[in-house]
Amino acid sequence: MFESDHPLITSLYIVAAVLFIIGLKMLNRATTARRGNLISGVGMLAAIVATCLLKGMTFGWILFGAVVGSAIGAVAAYAVKMTAMPEMVGLFNGFGGLASMLVAWAEFHKWRVEGWVKYHQLLGTGAPDSPLFTAVATVFTAIVGAVTFSGSVVAFLKLGEWITGKPILFRGQRWVNAALVGMILVTAVLMVVRGPQDITGYGALVVVIVLSLLLGVTSVIPIGGADMPVVISLLNSYSGVAAAAAGFILLNTGLIVAGSLVGASGLILTNIMCKAMNRSLANVLFSGFGSGEGTTSAAVQGEVKPISVEDAYYILEAARSVVFVPGYGMAVAQAQHVVRELGQLLEKNGAEVRYCIHPVAGRMPGHMNVLLAEANVPYEQLVEPGDVNPVMDTVDVAVVIGANDVVNPAAREDPSSPLWGMPIIEVDRARTCIVLKRSMRAGFAGVENPLFYKPNTRMLFGDAKATVSALVSEFKSE
């Protein structure tokens, strides 16, 4: 066993940090993402080995945790359906926050039992001479970890439809949150000043944790389901920040680096997604967006034009340029494989096929990308709205599969719409737009979609998988 500043320990943590950075960079492209994930895993293994070599480590509990965690992860990987992946990701974020919170509590308790001098020695070389730094790091980790955990649980319940996906609002909600923040800060100061040796200081930590758990709930319940991708990425950032703060408590370099990378990347992704909706983070967190009942300020005019599978086949068969726009409805129907098969048939028929993905489509960041990658859709055929919108007038057919809010032209045409100003995929400008939906219900944002009434739009009602399968059969029969 070695001290924390031993050259072998230091070298392993440096190797782990480098592998984390390389792996994260490789996740930027679908073609290198798997390798990047593997490289990051090797980096984590190096960090675990380094931690196991630290003086005073007990292997029994480490082995127990590794076995139990691996078993749960393996079962989840095989049992959880792709449609449930968003809530699973949200739950993973929560467990990361919970782990950091428990580390903070456990270290504070150890400090209380051992006394500062012995606890200082147990931390190893490089520990701060003053308990102030450790106390501040402890309370910060406890707060962020608790907020992340309870907020992620609420996100999990919303995404799994265990509770309503609409914003849950009540009178004076912002004042309640402000009061909770104030009480947390006051109690945190009391904890730092008193320390663990004083029962007041120890009790203050417990109060901080309870209040932070409550704050996580009250912070996420007013956020609508349409904003869940942003919330998931933000909570992911929180879990990274909590892990980095826990690293400062333990003086663990690997944990600090890994947490910082997760926190920074999550925050960058959150900013990207906010820009994709043309909204600020404050607007996402505090606006209660999505609480409407499926109406817009401007009356929707026009006539809905249903279409049969056979008629849709004739339109697609004559097309030379087709853009698929997937949404959450495709995920629910598990239609990605038949969509890919239809795309291949269209290519054989001489059509140019592309798949346009909006940054906030689905229920988590990259949701549609994951589904299409699972169906082996070539990465070169995936395009962003900015790539296809300028040439949308030349597209013969735009096929919208379960998407709603990200193709809503009210964002461009109706200044009174809640979606006004949000960059969308402008499928209404295609020569023909075929929308696959089960019904005329509004999307997760609760805003009615004028696209359905456009003169060039045809509504193909039914389950997306069954409908696309029928189109595939039409092509094969010919």
What SS3 state is found at 349? Answer: coil
Q: Is residue 187 over pLDDT 60? A: yes
Please tell me the distance from the alpha carbon of residue 132 to that of residue 62, in angstroms, as a whole number: 29
Whether residue 342 is predicted with pLDDT greater than 50 in this model: the reply is yes
Residues forming the active site: 405
Q: What is the pLDDT of residue 2?
A: 62
Looking at residue 311, its pLDDT comes to: 92
Res. 136 pLDDT band, cuts 50 70 90: very high
* Residue entry with tokens 């005019």: 301
| Domain residue ranges in the chain | 1-79, 83-286, 309-477
Q: How far apart are CA 5 and CA 19, in angstroms?
A: 20
> Mean pLDDT in the chain?
85
For 190-220, how does the pLDDT look when each residue is reduced to its tens digit (9 = 90+)? 999 988 888 888 899 999 999 999 999 998 8
CB atoms inside a 10 Å sphere around CB 14: 15
CA 365 to the chain's CA centroid: 5
What is the pLDDT at residue 4?
63
User: Cα dist. 398→18, 224, 353, 395 in Å?
Assistant: 43, 28, 10, 7
Give tens-digit pLDDT for 226-272: 677 888 888 999 999 999 999 988 888 888 988 999 999 888 888 88
Percent of the chain surpassing pLDDT 90:
40
| The pTM of the whole model exceeds 0.75 | yes
Instruction: Indicate if the pLDDT at residue 276 is higher than 90.
Output: no
* Tokens 């409908």 -> residue: 467
At residue 300, the pLDDT reads 62
pLDDT greater than 70 at residue 340: yes
User: Domain 309-477 is classified in which CATH homologous superfamily?
Assistant: TPP-binding domain (3.40.50.1220)
For residue 174 the two structure tokens come to: 């912002």
Task: Specify whether the CB–CB gap between 366 and 402 falls below 8 A.
Answer: no
Which of the listed ranges 279-288, 297-306, 427-436 does the model predict with the highest average pLDDT? 427-436
Q: Which amino acid is at 238?
A: Y
Per-residue model confidence as pLDDT tens digits over 104-130: 999 999 888 888 777 776 666 555 567
CA dist., res. 284 & res. 279, Å (int): 7
Greatest alpha-carbon pair distance for the chain in Å reads 82
pLDDT of 144 reads 95
160: three-class secondary structure by DSSP? coil
Query: Which helix (H) or strand (E) element contains residue 97?
Result: helix 85-114
Is 295 a residue whose pLDDT tops 70? no
Q: Could you give phi then psi for residue 117, rounded to 5 degrees?
A: -60, -50
pLDDT band, very low/low/confident/very high, at 34 (cuts 50, 70, 90): confident
Identify the bridge partners of residue 401 per DSSP, sorted by sequence position: 326, 436
Which DSSP string corresponds to 303-316?
---B--HHHHHHHH
Structure letter (DSSP) for residue 2: B
